[in-house]
Structure 1
């Protein structure tokens, strides 16, 4: 019992590192870039709020768990910008290796459970994973539109590029696609 609890506490300490993993979106005060822990939290909460726009019946606990763990692989691999095609080429394997270190702190049964949910999210192999992926794609877009100055486009992205990257949302929900 104490060994299991110690493993879980080691994992809790590991999670602190997600707060030091920075993303490309700025915070509302425009003072700093958000971290991956903040992003995961915002996604999980928004998933609860927007669920009514998805016609399929979902197990929300699975969705929120996926969203809370989906970026754990960034602790050692870093965040790969969604439009970085070169970085995306090997981001799955880099994040999987990183995830192995972080989840390796947990008892084996919990490690396996979270790894299975992470892979389900990554592949979009369930209704819950497809919804979680849609929320994960919407949050940075909505955040950018809320905090960015007019014409703030440091990556020189076009509307067509952004919509093409988010187009999978269309198959999930007409309302969420319209929002995008």
Structure 2
């Protein structure tokens, strides 16, 4: 686990994607073939992109969860043990419910970063929004308008996720919600007539 965390947190996601897709094929270890699942073709590039970004984000999220768990006072575990709870019971009923409030905001922020990191898949040949707009730009020759559209799209995704994250944080009762204090309600309220 430590080597996994060290590698995936200590190297750029771009390099990880390149090594995963091109490096494994180069040394003959694994090539990502296109797969057909229920009549839907899933490209090897897509598989490598999902695996690479998943491994990268998993390392960061592991640290977030670990930090949330160790932020809970040791006395909580000791008290659970004193009343006869097993480790599993104390984690389920005592530690994790408290840690959840600490874990959710940074997990949401990391998810937001991951959404924007999908643009990196273009280096291994993946077609995602940024790459698709580059292809359109090769024909239209209107880079400003196209990249502005990409920016607006990612901004819309980020705002939508911010709203979802704020709702989740309110639901779990986090007083330190990132997007709290009615920002989205005021924004949307100002649009109503």
**Shorter-chain-normalised TM-score: which range?**
0.3 to 0.5
Determine which structure has the larger helix proportion and give its number.
Answer: 2
Larger Rg computed on CA atoms: 2
